[in-house]
Structure 1
Amino acid sequence: MELREAVRKRPGMYVGGTDGFGVAQLVLEVLSNAVDQHLVGRCHRIDLRVDADGSVTIDDDGPGIRTGAVDGMPPLVERLTKNPQRPTADGHRPHVHVGRLGAGLSVVNVLCERFELMTVREGIESSVAFEQGILVSPLDERAVKRASGTRVRFRADPAIFDDTYPEMQVVSSRIDDLSFVAPRLAIGVSRAGVPLAGIVERVEKLQRRGTIGPVAHHRGRYGNELVPIDVEIALSWSDVSHEPAILSFVNLERTHEHGQHVLGMRDALRAGFGRARWEVVARGLLAVVSVVLDDVILGSPTRERLDSPASRPAVAAASG
């Protein structure tokens, strides 16, 4: 099976999911190549920009990427579309995986709606562009009088990802780590506009064609005076049959494995649909559930599931 077909068929195997966490892994994978150059003293600054639509631009002041065959490595276009023979686009060492999964630029490329790479090396500017991993702008090279460096611009493919905006907490956390272990590397991060004004807007970003009605939204305080629980929930449905897209948070942190707060929403929605099976209720569901509480109990080995029992009835009450 070709790389493109394999990755697009099972993206979660390569980037860990099809939500904002998976998109964050794309960002970190591109970032890795610039960090590698810093390790050998060839890169001193990286600039990361995220636009409101989830488009990501990463610039570095490194030496640029070789575009021809390198020490047995095929030309750049082939390296961006085939199974990687080595961990990096041009075979450089050492290599560090900034993200958890170490997927490689070829995987990033095939999971993007559009992927553009422009690099300047030894006075030659080279640029190439792909859409869904398919070459749309062949490699173009020309002489320039500019400093070396590389720019990669991409946007996760909405045909693959439920949310094309990277989970910035994941990205920011890793960059914070790098600021300690690589203090001489300057990393600038900017976010254009205000991409998400609240969870209603987040659900709207999840919406696909055929959305049924406006986004339902509620915010309130539940529990009691001793153990208050702030709950916010927004949800909608699409009549296009697909798996539910649910994002859940506790104290502003993503709970990738959901937990009691999502079960509370599930309880209320099933009750509202006459105790219908969850598979029926959840078809086309687009939801964001957020709780804030003092007594946070996290379960699972990765601590990404909320086990605090009081959150379940609180969210059920908010969702009813």
Structure 2
Amino acid sequence: MSDAANPYDASHIQMLEGWEAIRRRPGMYIGSTSQRGLHQVVFEVVGRAVNEIVAGRAGSVDVTLTPDGGVRVADDGPGVPVETSGDAGSPGLEALLTQMQFGAEPRGRHAVATSLFGIGPCVTNALSSRLRAEVRRQGIGWVQEYTRGVALTPPTSTGPTTRSGTTIAFWPDTDIFETTDCSFATLTERFQELAFLNQGLDISLTDQRPPDGPRSVRCRFPGGARDFVIFLDAQRGASVHPDVIGFEREDPRMAGTVEVALRWQDSHGERLQSYANSAPTPCGGTHTAGFREGVAAAVNAHLRERRLLAEAAPDLSADQIGDGLTAVVSVKLDRPEFSGSTHGALGGATVRAGVAKAAREHVGTWLERHPEQASAIIGRIIQGTGQN
């Protein structure tokens, strides 16, 4: 085909930046315009507030679903810096809400991953018909309003205040989303995960929409992954062996930490939930492979030492040992490696080796120190294999 028949040149290229790019292709930034994408714009704002707590600058986050379809996220941190006040902090309020910088959010083991690409509230602002930001910082209150990502006014002082923190209220754009009805259950589940995986986190969710009155839930779990396993077992309603085996370990080789909790129950099937930097890894990865490898090694070593397996018999497989197991595996890494752009599976050979070593040592030690419970667990596993 000749150039004359297809007159495409540089004049046809559109350069889209900031809010305009996000509104033109929202799926590139939040995954979809369905309810899943709607929840993602909530997480983009919540993530900033949660990381204030993780960094030790705030104590709690309050999320509210308002009757008019809005979402309000408030924290009690020091407040976002405000450029017009001469505040040299970074990023400032307007930069936070308008500048699209991939990876701008905190990263590494000391940050909670809730944003798809680390852009944060800028995405939410662009995809909201209206957004109102209130900042209480250094004794002064500030407010700024936006419409579809565009500021209506500069940040305006509201006078002295004795409080501190940041509140961002937004109304998802009905021209963008298939629905603007957030699911209380879905948001609760994700906030519970974050609180289980970050022991200092205190996050509440209030739904003001029900006609019969508000409903709310507070997510705070000092027991971390141990509490998570107890919660998961309670959901299944199965009888369980009493103790949760749990441990945390830092491993310089994988530049991060691993937290694991597990417990066997008197039912079939394995329930293993895994996370990397507090983000779910539904396809597993090297951390789950290392966990299963380490637990299998510990159990088989215990069986061999007590001659509970015939000398010529092969080791039990990870599948056999995992039957009836509920487990949570959470790694927090400085430089996580993922397989694929969706981050569904974690990579990294050092992660597998580090988690396997930690699981083998800690589970093995627990079995040695709790002989009665170990006997019950081993007996259940052997019974399930048909080798008793």
Bucket of the pairwise TM-score, normalised by the shorter protein: 0.5 to 0.7
Aligned residue for 2:30? 15
Q: Which runs of 5+ in 2 are unaligned?
A: 1-15, 213-341, 343-388
Aligned residue for 1:202? none
Aligned residue for 2:182? 166
Q: Which moved more, 1:179-188 or 1:31-40?
A: 179-188
Percent sequence identity is: 32
1:24, 1:168 within 8 Å by CA — same for their partners in 2?
Answer: no
| Greater share of residues in strand | 1
Aligned residue for 2:147? 131
Aligned residue for 2:276? none
Distance 1:48 1:128 in 2: 19
Aligned residue for 1:83? 100
Shift of 1:5: 1.6
The C-alpha deviation readout for 1:5-31, integer Å capped at 9, x for no partner, is: 211111011011112111111111111
Shift of 1:35: 1.0
1:45 matched to 2:75? The reply is no
Aligned residue for 2:261? none
The C-alpha deviation readout for 1:108-162, integer Å capped at 9, x for no partner, is: 1110011111011111111111010111132102441321111110010001111
Give the secondary-structure state (helix, strand or coil) at the position aligned to 1:80: helix
Find the partner of 1:144 among 154, 157, 160. Answer: 160
1:157 matched to 2:168? The reply is no
TM-score (norm. length: structure 1): 0.55
Shift of 1:101: 4.5
Equivalent residues in 2 for 1:197-236, closer than 5 Å: none
Which runs of structure 1 show a deviation greater than 4 angstroms over 4 or more consecutive aligned residues?
A: 69-75
Shift of 1:98: 2.1
Shift of 1:100: 4.1
The C-alpha deviation readout for 1:254-307, integer Å capped at 9, x for no partner, is: xxxxxxxxxxxxxxxxxxxxxxxxxxxxxxxxxxxxxxxxxxxxxxxx9xxxxx
Aligned residue for 1:193? 209
Q: Which one-letter code corresponds to 1:12 in the other structure?
A: G
1:25, 1:101 within 8 Å by CA — same for their partners in 2?
Answer: no
Q: Which runs of 5+ in 1 are unaligned?
A: 197-301, 303-320
2:29, 2:116 within 8 Å by CA — same for their partners in 1?
Answer: no
2:81, 2:90 within 8 Å by CA — same for their partners in 1?
Answer: no
Aligned residue for 1:107? 123
Distance 1:121 1:192 in 2: 28
Give the secondary-structure state (helix, strand or coil) at the position aligned to 2:40: helix
Shift of 1:73: 5.0
1:21, 1:166 within 8 Å by CA — same for their partners in 2?
Answer: no
Distance 1:119 1:23 in 2: 24
Distance 1:59 1:51 in 2: 13
Distance 2:91 2:59 in 1: 28
Distance 2:102 2:117 in 1: 16
The C-alpha deviation readout for 1:57-92, integer Å capped at 9, x for no partner, is: 111111111112777957532442222276249x9x
Aligned residue for 2:7? none
2:138, 2:164 within 8 Å by CA — same for their partners in 1?
Answer: yes
Q: Which one-letter code corresponds to 2:132 in the other structure?
A: E
Shift of 1:191: 0.6
Tell which has more relative contact order, 1 or 2 (C-alpha 8 A, sep 6+): 1
The C-alpha deviation readout for 1:225-252, integer Å capped at 9, x for no partner, is: xxxxxxxxxxxxxxxxxxxxxxxxxxxx
Structure-2 change in CA distance of 1:79 and 1:175 (3 Å):
closer
Aligned residues: 195
Q: Which one-letter code corresponds to 2:210 in the other structure?
A: V
Find the partner of 1:66 among 81, 94, 108. Answer: 81
1:53, 1:165 within 8 Å by CA — same for their partners in 2?
Answer: no
Give the secondary-structure state (helix, strand or coil) at the position aligned to 1:166: coil
Find the partner of 1:177 among 193, 197, 201. Answer: 193
Larger Rg: 2
Give the secondary-structure state (helix, strand or coil) at the position aligned to 2:156: strand
1:87, 1:95 within 8 Å by CA — same for their partners in 2?
Answer: no
Shift of 1:55: 0.5
Aligned residue for 1:34? 49
Q: Which one-letter code corresponds to 1:52 in the other structure?
A: P
TM-score (norm. length: structure 2): 0.46
Structure-2 change in CA distance of 1:182 and 1:96 (3 Å):
closer
Query: What is the RMSD computed on CA atoms of the aligned residues?
Result: 2.8
Aligned residue for 1:55? 70
1:23, 1:167 within 8 Å by CA — same for their partners in 2?
Answer: no
Q: Which one-letter code corresponds to 1:190 in the other structure?
A: T
